[in-house]
Amino acid sequence: MGTPSRVKAIFPNYQWDRPTILQTAENIPAHIAVHIRCLQHDKVAACKDVRQIICQLQSKNKNVTVFELNDRTVKHGQLLQNQQFQKSVNRFYTENGIIS
């Protein structure tokens, strides 16, 4: 299945033939913590695809923190405004020594 033309129109400079995170997960250094969000009803980044990335990173022993939200009222572009997400990110930063 190819990339939809509307997606290519939105990201005209993206190099679609480049390796994805699923293919290069082992290249992420183990000491770098990763925070991934999974929005259950996201129409931009399907949770199924996000879970594949999470599994791939975890299978390579990466430090992965997952935030999952099952709230139909929160859209992809609004997630940063969500209080639960903000708390998750702040906890991630604190636990990984990014902020104190």
**What pLDDT, in 10s, does the model give residues 4-58?**
677 778 888 888 888 888 888 888 888 899 999 999 888 888 888 899 999 989 8
Question: Taking 70 as the threshold, does the pLDDT of residue 3 lie above it?
Answer: no
Per-residue pLDDT, averaged over 56-70, amounts to: 90
Distance of alpha carbon 96 from its chain centroid, rounded?
Answer: 17
Evaluate whether residue 100 is within a structural domain. no
Phi, psi values for residue 19, rounded to 5°:
-60, 150
Contacts 24+ apart (CB under 8 A), 13-17: none
Residue 64: give the domain boundaries. Answer: 20-95
Evaluate whether residue 15 is within a structural domain. no
Evaluate whether residue 6 is within a structural domain. no
pLDDT of residue 1: 47
Total structural domains in the chain? 1
Between vectors from CA 36 to CA 32 and to CA 42, what angle results, nearest 5°? 160
Integer-rounded Cα radius of gyration of the chain:
15
